[in-house]
Amino acid sequence: MSFDVMDYFRQETLPHIWCPGCGNGIILRDFAVALERLNYPRDEVVIVSGIGCSSRAAGYLNFDTVHTTHGRALPFATGIKLANPNLKVFVIMGDGDSSAIGGNHLIHAARRNIDLTAIIFNNNIYGMTGGQFSPLTPRDKKATTAPYGMIEQSFDICRLAEGAGATYVGRATTYHNQLLTQLIIDGAQNPGFSLIEAVTHCPTSYGRRNGMASPSDMVRWQKDNAVWIDKVRAGKAEVKDGQFTIGLLHRHEAPEFTQAYMEVIKRARGQE
Ligand code: SF4
Ligand code: MG
pLDDT digits (tens, 9 = 90+) for 152-172: 999 999 999 999 999 999 999
Q: Which atom of ligand 1 is nearest to the CA of 54?
A: 7
Q: What is the Å distance from ligand 2's center to 202 Cα?
A: 8
Homologous superfamily of domain range 5-268: Thiamin diphosphate (ThDP)-binding fold, Pyr/PP domains (3.40.50.970)
Tell me the pLDDT of the chain averaged across its residues: 97
Q: Which atom of ligand 1 is nearest to the CA of 131?
A: 5
Q: What is the Å distance from ligand 2's center to 123 Cα?
A: 5
Q: What is the Å distance from ligand 2's center to 95 Cα?
A: 5
Kindly provide the b/e burial profile for residues 134-148, where b requires at least 16 CB atoms within 10 angstroms of the residue's own CB. Answer: bbbbeeebbbeebee
pLDDT of residue 3: 82
**Using a 6 Å CB cutoff, which residues line ligand 1?**
18-19, 22, 24, 53, 123, 127-128, 202-205
Name residues of the chain where pLDDT drops below 50. none
| Residue among 169, 184, 160, 165 nearest 256 (CA) | 165
Ligand 1 atom 2: the closest Cα is on which residue? 202
| Residue among 116, 102, 104, 154 nearest 133 (CA) | 154
pLDDT of residue 10: 97
Ligand 1 atom 6: the closest Cα is on which residue? 18
Ligand 1 atom 5: the closest Cα is on which residue? 127
Q: What is the Å distance from ligand 1's center to 195 Cα?
A: 22
Name the residues around ion ligand 2, CB cutoff 5 A: 94-96, 123
pLDDT digits (tens, 9 = 90+) for 104-117: 999 999 999 999 99
Domain ranges of the chain: 5-268
pTM score, whole prediction: 0.97
CA–CA separation, 228 and 249 (whole Å): 10
Q: Which atom of ligand 1 is nearest to the CA of 206?
A: 2
